Amino acid sequence: MYKIYINDNPLFLAAKDEEKTLLDRYPGCLAAQYRGQVKSLLHYIDLLEKSSSPRVVALYAADPEALKADFFGLFRYLEAAGGLVFNPSGEGLFIFRRGKWDLPKGKIDPGETPLEAALREVREETGLQILEPGPALPSTFHTYREKDKRVLKQTYWFVMDTPDLILIPQTEEDIEKAVWFEISSFLGRKPDLYNSIRDVVEAYLKEGEG
């Protein structure tokens, strides 16, 4: 199953046997079977881009990988990487950029691995230099418009640890603040956070519980 955020609302690409799970989890979800007509996918993309309702769309198919290939083919595909960074006190690092809380991340340069890109981006955007990489977290997918083209970005995420505390936000990238927070209390304050970023943090907390 793939979860792709369009206008910060999720669109799922799923197998037929996953439909009931999604409908149970997201009451009011718009679910539809994909029958191989690529143009029909544009209808659901436009629906999430231009409307506040529905807030969740689930597309399912007998061959979910064919559905994924057709869907991805409608976009320019980019890869990025970032980190969920912790200090010695166990606080997580968040940045504030363009009106929302976020995690440091950026595009993968040619020749870089996702981990190399994640470490570079965290260093550039936060001023932290000593980073110890940890386990990978689930990737996220989101779309946006770039001039007249639709872009689908996959972001690879990694847990990182640092002994450093001093943060220097990269203002050239519109980062206004970089702050350490205790994660559970931060989420409890219901910050203005992208839903894909919330997924990353919640995936980390869930793995910790496991």
pLDDT greater than 80 at residue 111: yes
Q: Are residue 168 and residue 110 in the same domain, yes or no?
A: yes
How confident is the model over 117-135, as pLDDT tens digits?
999 999 999 999 999 999 9
Q: Are residue 67 and residue 90 in the same domain, yes or no?
A: no
Looking at 20, 53, 72, the residue that finishes a domain is 72
pLDDT greater than 90 at residue 66: yes
Q: Are residue 15 and residue 85 in the same domain, yes or no?
A: no
Q: Are residue 108 and residue 161 in the same domain, yes or no?
A: yes
Q: Are residue 164 and residue 203 in the same domain, yes or no?
A: yes
Mean pLDDT of 131-150: 94
How confident is the model over 20-60, as pLDDT tens digits?
899 999 988 999 999 999 999 999 999 999 877 778 999 99
Q: What is the pLDDT of residue 210?
A: 43
What CATH number corresponds to the domain at position 195? 3.90.79.10
Q: Are residue 181 and residue 135 in the same domain, yes or no?
A: yes
How confident is the model over 2-23, as pLDDT tens digits?
999 999 999 999 999 998 899 9
Phi, psi of 20 (to 5 degrees): -65, -40
Q: On the CB side of 52, how many CA atoms lie within 13 Å of its CA?
A: 0
* Number of domains present in the structure of the chain: 2
CA 29, CA 22: separation in Å to the nearest integer? 8
Rounded (5°) CA angle 30-36-1: 55
Q: Are residue 119 and residue 183 in the same domain, yes or no?
A: yes
Q: 163: domain range?
A: 77-209
Q: What is the pLDDT of residue 147?
A: 85
Q: Are residue 166 and residue 110 in the same domain, yes or no?
A: yes
Token pair, residue 83, equals 């980190």
How confident is the model over 70-83, as pLDDT tens digits?
999 999 999 999 99
CA 10, CA 58: separation in Å to the nearest integer? 8
